[in-house]
Amino acid sequence: MLIDTSSEKLFLPENLPAKLKKAGEKIFSGERITFEEGVMLFEEGELPFLSALANFVREKKNGNFVYFNRNFHIEPTNYCVFDCKFCSYSRFLRERGDSEAWEMTEEEIYKIVKSYIGKPVTEVHIVGGVHPKMGLQYFANIIKNIKTILPGIHVKAFTAVELEYMCRKAKLSFKEGLKILKDHGQDSLPGGGAEIFDEKLRNEICADKCSTNEWLEIHETAHGLGMASNATMLYGHIENYHHRVDHLERLRQLQDKTGGFNTFIPLKFRNKDNQMSNLREVSVIEDLKNYAVSRIYLDNFNHIKSYWPMIGRDTAQMSLDFGVDDIDGTIDDSTKIYSMAGAEDQNPALSTQQLVELIKGAGRHPVERDTLYNIVNDFGEAEINF
Ligand code: V47
Ligand code: SF4
């Protein structure tokens, strides 16, 4: 298949089944595809077909740009009151006193923040386990102090799972809780905790944490307060293609309503050291297909992000031909959630130069962004050594 963007023509192979041809023409003309068409693309769309269409959509939205940002992570604790079966990271319920458990003091958190004074980072990403003693007011004060140490920093913090627990413990509505955090300096929400929205599956893999409706309500409330957020989907475990499209559909509907999502981040299930270790991980082909269908289906999301510390640098680079326009994780990606789950990259840190090279190596134009996708630096002309 070929898309000639200069003459705005779509050339489909003669032998392409009629329903795929129809979906291809819809996507090419900017028409939204249906739930059934989403499932069909997963089931029957061959990789080159999906790549061409996803790439067409991504170039219409983002040209040849590939975004990255300079951020650092703080993971205050991996103690967690919940017991998600896919999680390799949480300690406490299962292994109290485990040597891999940690609980940072406030001073330890500020020490990390202070180490970034004068460094060109624009965002801090704060997320961790759900600790019974670290409540909403405790974190609100931490955010306020972080903003005093690094006044210009964007604070992207707490998944809907953490927020649901904090609000419940503080006996506050989601709106009241989020408003307090916002007033103390929280700017946006990361996309974690979404897992898979189908209620039956959610009940099988993470029964005790926030429900699908609570996840969606928290993000809707945040958007209503002017806080942007991300969305994720954990894939490659016990779900099928219907479940994936159902997940994308619920996100597409909420985005139609609020427009508050920045980016969608598919998260590949990794099977090391968790209660679902008996499952095999899906192939790279499946990862690429998932990026492509997500890009096509979520026609109201501006960005699709591949999280390279999770899928590895090579797959992240390939994903740029399957609808992805954003690669996360630079400088010091100190997140442990993936290295403990068996991610490709056990030492997730890339220098800006390495990241620029990775993007240029895929024939794309690297740009540094801030959290809200304003361009901070254009690396299009940067010298690189292949
Ligand atoms: O919700 C946990 C996932 C998420 C495993 O918003 C696992 O910019 C795979 O959401 N295999 C938390 N995934 C991390 C997250 C995130 C990461 C990077 C950027 C952003 C953003 C958000 O990690 C959890 C869960 O879905 N996770 N265990 C596992 N074994
Ligand atoms: Fe806790 Fe998050 Fe792990 Fe679930 S995925 S057990 S909520 S740290």
The verdict on residue 383 lying in a domain is no
- CATH number for the domain that contains residue 225: 3.20.20.70
Q: Both ends of the chain: CA-CA distance in Å?
A: 30
Write the residue with the smallest CA distance to atom 23 of ligand 1.
192
The 10s digit of each residue's pLDDT in 102-152 is 889 999 999 999 999 999 999 999 999 999 999 999 999 999 999 999 999
- In angstroms, rounded to a whole number, what is the distance separating the alpha carbons of residues 249 and 3? 26
Whole-number pLDDT of residue 306: 95
Q: Are residues 199 and 87 in the same domain?
A: yes
Taking the centre of ligand 2 as the mean of its atom positions, its distance from the CA of residue 57, in whole angstroms, is 34
Establish if 311 belongs to a structural domain.
yes
Of the bound ligands, which one is closest to the alpha carbon of residue 90? 2
Q: Which of 16, 47, 62 is the last residue of a domain?
A: 62
Do 101 and 243 share a domain, yes or no?
A: yes
Q: Are residues 69 and 52 in the same domain?
A: no
> How many domains would you assign to the chain?
2
Biggest CA–CA distance in the chain, Å, is 65
Residue at token pair 């794309």: 364
Q: What is the pTM of this model?
A: 0.94
Atom of ligand 1 nearest to the CA of 310: 9
For the chain, which residues score pLDDT lower than 70?
1-8, 91-100, 329-349, 382-386
Residues 208 and 300 in one domain: yes
Question: Which residue has its alpha carbon closest to ligand 2 atom 8?
Answer: 129
Domain assignment present for residue 239? The answer is: yes
Per-residue pLDDT tens over the stretch 180-189: 999 999 999 9
Domain closes at, from 62, 87, 104:
62
Ligand 2 pocket: which of 77, 102, 161, 164 to mutate (most atoms within 8 A of CB): 161
Domain span including residue 22: 3-62
Residue 91 sits in the same domain as residue 56: no
- Going by C-alpha positions, the residue among 25, 23, 47, 42 that lies closest to residue 34 is 23
- What does 42-89 look like in DSSP terms, one character per residue? HHH--HHHHHHHHHHHHHHHHTTEEEE--EEEE--B-EES---TT-SS
How large is the angle between the packed helices 212-224 and 160-169, nearest 10 degrees? 90
**How far, in Å, from the CA of 96 to the mean position of ligand 2?**
15
Q: Which residue's alpha carbon is nearest to atom 4 within ligand 2?
A: 84
How many Cα atoms within 13 Å fall on the side-chain side of residue 153?
30
pLDDT recorded at residue 365: 97
Whether 303 maps to a domain, the answer reads: yes
pLDDT at 386: 47
Q: What is the pLDDT of residue 253?
A: 98
> CA-based angle 77:223:75, to the nearest 5?
10
- Most ligand 1 atoms within 8 A of CB, residue of 83, 267, 269 to mutate: 267
Same domain, 41 and 119: no
DSSP 8-state assignment for residue 187 = -
